[in-house]
Chains A and B, each alone.
Chain A
Amino acid sequence: MNTLSRKIVMAATGLFLCLFLLIHCLGNTQLFLEPEQAKLSFNAYSHFMTTNPIVKIISYVLYLSIIGHVVYALIITLKNRKAGGLYKRDNRGRASKWYSRNMGLLGTIVLVFLVTHFANFWYIYRFGEFTAVDANGNKDLFLLVQETFTNLWIVILYVVAMIALCYHLIHGINSGVRSLGLFHPKFVRWINVIGIIYSVVLCVGFALMPLYMYFTQN
């Protein structure tokens, strides 16, 4: 592997994760329905997403992408630390955006969130002692979502993580497509604009979910 191919792995896994986020966000908008309807609809959707064989295969690709993205981020960061120079006075930050220089930090916040997120829902839904079912006989994930988001600290963590994710995505999308080799100025500009809109809409959408669940119950 060389410096370019490592960045290609980062870009490919990252852009796949972006695609996943869109599907995840669209699916979750069911939480905003009328509570009775949201419960049935969201639980049926969750049942489908955990049992459908095609979705299952994609979910394994997803786990691999997350692991690959993290592992390569670590390798690249460590190598870059060694390659870059340290100055007694450093004013180099004036030439670039803070979030483009701190993708590792933003990514770590997202990773901490991700572990919590998996523990909150994924683990309990799949492996925990989880017996509640709704009127259709599906596991009542909606109830778990409601219960989880009565905890203010979890809501705060989720919102902070979405702010971090937003900046991570704004730089990530722009950087990723160029690591893959998109160099035409016109298309790069389009991707830049689309990337910002995508990141903001997606993260605002995600952040509204815990906030909505918290405030409708308190």
Chain B
Amino acid sequence: MKLHLKIWRQKDRKSEGKLVDYTLDNVNTHMSFLEMLDTLNEELILKNEEPVEFDHDCREGICGQCGVVINGNAHGPLKNTTTCQLHMREFKDGETILIEPFRAAGFPVKKDLKVDRSAFDRIISSGGYVSVNTGQAPEANTIPVSHEVAEAAFDSAACLGCGACVATCKNGSAALFTAAKITQLAILPQSKEERKQRALRMIWQMDQEGFGHCSNTEACEVECPQGISVLNIARMNYEYNRASFLKFKKK
């Protein structure tokens, strides 16, 4: 199949970017979207042009490293997939595809389709951990966890941290990401010790990074590769209220 591509090219953080047109012949419909970009880059290298930079890693849909906005949707037209799991059979022959980086105040563009998502790392390091004593691994059943709680924690922990929620949110809010990370730990007994400070610190860090307010449009859940529930956000709000109240009471 033949494709017309409009790709966002930007030299670095500071420079202005623009859309550049490319035409690609002989695209195999079984290719993944990233393989299609690889093919384009090979052509560009042969022509002595600079290849299009984009983030990727496992290409199995589990690492959360890839992610671009394709025709106005994060990770492209398919719902609940990552960019690497999107295949060219989802597009028509001769179609024009517009590819842009994830955009939000919290996600500055580094180059072309690559964005700086280190804000997520800083949110995690501000409180998304559990402090345990080192030593021998404890017996697995020392702390009982019910099946329901374990499953609920897994559902929240499925978040890849790809940032599609932020790119999809009209407010550039990182509420779904932060909420999933707070919730997965808040409900497990091992991590109850740091529950209050975790919620307050992670939310504080989220705001420092310049993300917007959550207005509960629920678009993030629809576009999330893992379909992380927006109820995680409500849970985060609960954790925030609980922590604020308990902090207040202690004073």
Contacts and interface: CB of A to CB of B under 8 A. Distances in A.
Contact of A96 (B71, B173, B217): B217
B105 A84 contact: yes
13 contacts: A83-B212, A84-B104, A86-B103, A92-B74, A92-B223, A95-B168, A95-B219, A95-B222, A101-B170, A103-B215, A175-B215, A183-B232, A183-B238
B172 A180 contact: no
A94 B232 CA distance: 21
Contact of A88 (B19, B223, B232, B237): B19
Interface of A: 2-4, 6-8, 76, 79-80, 82-92, 94-97, 100-101, 103, 171, 174-175, 178-183, 185, 188
B241 A100 contact: no
Interface string B215-251: 1111110110000001111111111111000000000
A161 to B, nearest CB: 21
Contacts, number: 145
- Listed from nearest, the 9 A-B pairs whose CB atoms lie closest are A85-B103, A91-B72, A83-B212, A181-B238, A183-B234, A95-B222, A95-B219, A80-B171, A175-B216
Given A87-B100, A89-B98, A95-B222, A181 B241 contact: yes
A96 B241 contact: no
Interface string B75-89: 000010000000000
Given A88-B98, A180-B241, A100 B106 contact: no
Given A178-B234, A181-B234, A87 B173 contact: no
Contact of A83 (B73, B203, B211): B211
Q: Chain B contact residues: over half helix, strand or loop, or mixed?
A: mixed
B207 interface: yes
Contacts of B6: 88
A99 B175 CA distance: 20
A143 B169 CA distance: 49
B95 to A, nearest CB: 13
Interface in B92-112: 98, 100, 102-107
Contacts of A89: 71-72, 98, 100
A94 B71 CA distance: 12
Given A7-B213, A92-B73, 6 more contacts: A3-B211, A84-B104, A96-B218, A100-B216, A103-B215, A183-B231
A92 B104 contact: no
Contacts of B207: 2-3
Contacts of A86: 103
A106 to B, nearest CB: 12
Given A85-B167, A89-B71, A181 B219 contact: no
Contacts of A79: 212-213
B210 A83 contact: yes
B185 interface: no
Given A175-B216, A178-B216, A92 B71 contact: no
Contacts of A88: 6, 8, 19, 98, 100
Given A3-B211, A84-B212, A96 B69 contact: no
Contacts of B113: none
B215 A3 contact: no
B204 interface: yes
A96 B222 contact: yes
A103 B214 CA distance: 13
A23 B237 CA distance: 29
B206 interface: yes
B248 to A, nearest CB: 13
Contacts of B237: 4, 7-8, 178-181, 183
A65 to B, nearest CB: 19
Given A80-B170, A100-B215, A101-B217, A94 B240 contact: no
Given A87-B69, A100-B217, A180-B241, A95 B223 contact: yes
